[in-house]
Amino acid sequence: MAFKAQETEYTQPTQADVDESIRKYGRDIYNDFDLDAPVFNDQHFEILDDLVEKCPVVHSTVGKGYYLVSQNTLVREVGQNWRTFSAAGGYMPNRPDGLPFLYPEESDPPVHTSWRQELNPFMGPKVIKGYEEQIREDANILIDAIIDKGKCEFVSEFAAVLPGWAFFKNVLGVPVEDLDKLVDGVESGTFSPDLDERGRKMGFVFQYLGDYLKKRSEEPPRGDMVDMIAEGVTYEDGSKSPWEHRVSVLVDMTFGGIATTTYVMASAINWLAENPEQRKLLVDDPETYMPRAIEEFARVFAPVVALGRTCTRDVELGGRQLKEGDFVMMVYAGASRDPRVVDEAKTIDITRETVLHSAFGVGIHRCIGSNLARLELRATFEELLRRIPEFHVVEPPTHVSGFLRSMRTLKIAW
Amino acid sequence: MKVHIEVGVDGGQQGCTGHGRCAMMAGEFYEVDDDGYAIHRGETVDVPAGLEDAARYGAGVCPERVIQIEE
Ligand code: HEM
Ligand code: SF4
């Protein structure tokens, strides 16, 4: 049968690989990895490539310790087997005690299934298609505000805003006057360097979403996803999902979809600014190249770098024995750069016909918002390239990386 | 040529999870339902003449790698 995981001999890195890693990165990334180390931000792609090429199972000694797998087959081995690799222990390593779990992300079947079954139709290709006109219009509103200036800081003036509008306006239907503070709340609540501010903004968004859900549950139904979440689902044992679960679903949907799309969008614009020939291809023949470009950008600019699962039993993975309770992360960003499944994996090429990637995850937790994200990306590239076909970078972007990667600023001009 | 799309255990394990990539990139052959799952999941279907490339192409982009081609 085609496409079955081929038998692979798993060999851990040699001493020479370790020495090279210490020379290049100042640490042994194979046995002493740290997602939050500054070097992982600064030499991001180089490190991802070393992980995927040289080390089937990486170990980190940070906190309680965790493992990482990056090869495409190993990421699928974990992601496609929720019984052995459970999401119910949360997606981040060394999760602080007492943090409430977010559903459906941090749950397993049957709870996960109950939610996904009900949520999926609201995010499927057919419903999302209906948002296209609004999203295009919003893209144009944002372009109107910058076009005559001849320059902009693309992250804060466009890429962080459009995904927020797309989600809050179309999917949640919140009042338009609340948009600015919500978009700011999500952005600063996730990335503000000031941790107090981060907590405050995050708290504001949680409170807002809880209040909004409550308010909507008392109003006449609109037949949208918010009604469905407010109504809740019935779990397998016949019980009704508690109110806190419903609020957490709304929070998960909100935080899953905004910063992620921002990063792909802004990275793509940065790259297009620096690659005028490929940009011209997109301008001249969007029909052929747009779908490929979107997948290629998601592949190489993966905002969800790595997410974790907890082993529910002792298990051998990538030639290494893991124990029940061990935490293992799937490096989605690495699996999309695995030379075993992608030709010329390090090259960014929007003319690639077959783009195989795992940017939206694998297994039952695969991204519920991928149809929306793709639409936002397409609307952005089409409208922006139509109205501003020539642009260049004035100041190279800055990034922040951990289990997510984001772009902080990108100054462009035209 | 035949195509088989795995449905997986409990509707998830190594089966179609509804990325919809097959239909997006090779819509001549693949189709998804309103939730984004391949409509022929769990089935083995004949590939009509002329659509072999589309069938192969769709299989190549499925992130779950659950589309089997039998030449
Ligand atoms: C380019 C943009 C995006 C990327 C790269 C992305 C990536 C991902 C990935 C890798 C996962 C899998 C998580 C796991 O394995 O545990 C995921 C799940 C999820 N995503 Fe996205 N996402 C994007 C946009 C969105 C949008 C627009 C939304 C919502 C409006 C969204 C909502 C979610 C939710 C709720 C989950 C959890 C699903 C579950 O656990 O069943 N994402 N996403
Ligand atoms: S690409 Fe694969 S997982 Fe996605 S709908 Fe098609 S068969 Fe299912």
Assess whether pLDDT exceeds 80 at residue A92.
yes
Residues of A in contact with B18 (CB under 8 A): 120, 366
Write down the mean pLDDT value for chain A: 94
Task: Give the ligand 1 atom nearest the CA of A253.
Answer: 35
Span A56-70, pLDDT tens digits: 999 999 999 999 999
Assess whether pLDDT exceeds 90 at residue A9.
no
- State percent of chain A over pLDDT 90: 91
In angstroms, the CA A324 to CA A66 distance is 12
Q: Give B17 to chain A, closest Cα distance, Å.
A: 6
B59/A3 CB distance under 8 A: yes
Q: Give A155 to chain B, closest Cα distance, Å.
A: 28
DSSP class of residue A304 equals: B
Residue among B13, B57, B65 minimizing CB distance to A3 = B65
Q: Give the chain A residue nearest B58 (alpha carbons).
A: A354
Helix A259-274 with A276-284: angle, nearest 10 deg: 110
Q: In which residue are the tokens 């081929």 written? A: A6
Q: Give the chain B residue nearest A110 (alpha carbons).
A: B10
What's the confidence (pLDDT) of residue B10?
64
The radius of gyration of chain B from alpha carbons, rounded to an integer in Å, stands at: 11
Task: Give the ligand 2 atom nearest the CA of B37.
Answer: 5
- b/e burial code for range A98-136 (CB count within 10 A of at least 16 → b): eeebbbbbbbbbebbbbbbebbbebbbbebbeebeeebb
Residue among B33, B63, B70 minimizing CB distance to A356 = B63
Q: Which residues contact A210 (CB under 8 A, 6 or more apart)?
A: A247, A250
In angstroms, the CA A21 to CA A31 distance is 10
Summarize the confidence of residues A179-194 as an average pLDDT. Answer: 89
Q: Are A362 and B63 in contact (CB under 8 A)?
A: yes
Q: Are A287 and A310 in contact (CB under 8 A)?
A: no
Q: What is the ipTM of this complex?
A: 0.89
What's the confidence (pLDDT) of residue A16?
97
A356/B67 CB distance under 8 A: no
What's the confidence (pLDDT) of residue B12?
53
Assess whether pLDDT exceeds 70 at residue A3.
no
Q: Which two tokens stand for residue A19?
A: 């020495």
What's the confidence (pLDDT) of residue A2?
38
The matching CATH number, chosen from 1.10.630.10, 3.30.360.10, 3.40.50.300, 3.40.50.1110, for A3-413 is 1.10.630.10
Which range (A29-43, A111-125, A188-202) has the least confidence? A188-202
Residue among A2, A360, A370 minimizing CB distance to B59 = A2
Q: In which residue are the tokens 């409509």 written? A: B39
In angstroms, the CA A279 to CA A328 distance is 38
Strands B44-46 and B67-70, bridge-based pairing: unpaired
What's the confidence (pLDDT) of residue A75?
97
Q: Give the chain B residue nearest A118 (alpha carbons).
A: B35
Assess whether pLDDT exceeds 50 at residue A1.
no
Span B15-61, pLDDT tens digits: 999 999 999 889 999 999 988 899 999 899 999 999 999 999 999 99
Task: Give the ligand 1 atom nearest the CA of A374.
Answer: 1
In angstroms, the CA A277 to CA B23 distance is 29
A363/B11 CB distance under 8 A: no
A3/B67 CB distance under 8 A: yes
Mutate which of A161, A224, A260, A371 for ligand 1 pocket (most atoms within 8 A of beta carbon):
A260
Summarize the confidence of residues A371-388 as an average pLDDT. Answer: 97
